[in-house]
Amino acid sequence: MSLLTLGIETSCDETGIALYQMERGLLAHALYSQVAMHNEYGGVVPELASRDHVRRLIPLVRQVMNEADVSLEQLDAIAYTQGPGLGGALLVGASIANALAYALDIPTIGIHHLEGHLLSPLLSEPAPKFPFVALLVSGGHTQLMRVDGVGRYTLLGETLDDAAGEAFDKSAQLLGLGYPGGPALAKLALLGRPGMHKLPRPMLHSGDLEFSFSGLKTAVLTLVKQSNDDEQTRADIAYAVQEAIVEVLAHKALSALAQTRLSQLVVAGGVGANQMLRHRLTEGIGKRGGEVFYPDLEFCTDNGAMIAFAGALRLELQQGKKDYRFDVKPRWNLADLGYGDLLP
């Protein structure tokens, strides 16, 4: 019998709910984004994010259950994002997940947010096969991982300061764009002209797989101060910012494939929706005879589907618990998941 898993994602500013069953796949999912609310403040306000999760979570659960035409009593487990993320936001999802599971006498599964992103391309067709290299690029994380199976992750390199998503957002803020900055900057860059500005490519030729983007932000600040504030100039700067970030990400990803001698790359996280990045990676890896896999665009940002799917995989390893004591981990290293003897 295929087990039915409810997934709850509340790590930051999006409330995501989904139902996943191994035999039938993703049955239903729903997402509420807080972008409009946080846009007034130019970024996420943690207290407001937590309060909004409280308002949205239960109605979204009801919506997903009705759409899938299943009852709470049919659930076999509840997976929730345990970390990393905003402490208060994580607590909302964790407390509701464990309270509901206690009432239903079913296990809960705490999921690492980045593991959800890392495994999300497996929801799409065609799906990658283990082993592969994963490029995790989101608002707070930029990492390259070797993935040999579920729970078998080896860190190859990561950012030493700002993540790629932060570089997009901070550069967008300097250009007077709204929140979230990454998509707004990419949209403006479509009007930009190549070669008008040259920005640094931090650690492009460092010889390792580490990243650094804080120096790029400083260079953008200097460029903005020295440039005219007309629409075309701003578009040209946006193009230069996007090009610099994409070149570094693509170069490091290709280097990771070469070093590991693997041919498959998985790209996950919000920045994975960037069209210039997708084009560069698809073209570069295709020339080497490899393949690159992306989650569907709706699963690039935070979502409940990736949490339900990761929960279902871990439930197969019998890693659920029924003691209902819980904690959240605002900071959590992906390598410290602790699958241990559960792995084959």
For the stretch 256-279, pLDDT in tens is 999 999 999 999 988 999 999 999
- Around Cβ 59, how many Cβ atoms within 10 Å? 13
Tens-digit pLDDT profile for residues 169-198: 999 999 999 778 899 999 999 999 999 999
- pLDDT (0 to 100) of residue 134: 96
What's residue 67's pLDDT? 98
CATH class for the region spanning 4-118+302-342: alpha beta
Residues 202, 213: Cα–Cα separation, whole Å: 6
From-to residues of CATH 3.30.420.40 in the chain: 4-118+302-342, 129-294
The dihedral over CA atoms of 320, 307, 114, 36, expressed in degrees to the nearest 10, equals -140
Domain 129-294: which CATH class? alpha beta
Residue segments in the chain with a per-residue pLDDT below the cut of 50: 340-344
> How far is residue 341's CA from residue 329's CA, in Å, rounded to a whole number?
22
3-state per-residue secondary structure call for the chain? CCCEEEEEECCCCEEEEEEEECCCEEEEEEEEECHHHHHCCCCCCHHHHHHHHHHHHHHHHHHHHHHHCCCHHHCCEEEEEEECCCHHHHHHHHHHHHHHHHHHCCCEEEEEHHHHHHHHHHHCCCCCCCCEEEEEECCCCEEEEEEEECCEEEEEEEECCCCHHHHHHHHHHHCCCCCCHHHHHHHHHCCCCCCCCCCCCCCCCCCCCCECCHHHHHHHHHHHHHCCCCHHHHHHHHHHHHHHHHHHHHHHHHHHHHHHCCCEEEEECHHHHCHHHHHHHHHHHHHCCCEEECCCHHHCCCCHHHHHHHHHHHHHCCCCECCCCCCCCCCCCHHHCCCHHHCC
- What integer pLDDT is reported at residue 339 of this predicted model? 55
Rounded-to-integer distance, Cα 266 and Cα 136, Å: 8
Question: 101 in the Ramachandran plot: left (φ > 0), alpha (ψ -120 to 50) or beta?
Answer: alpha
State both tokens at 182.
């990454």
Q: CA 171 to CA 246: how far, in whole Å?
A: 14
Q: Which pair of tokens denotes residue 217?
A: 């932000």
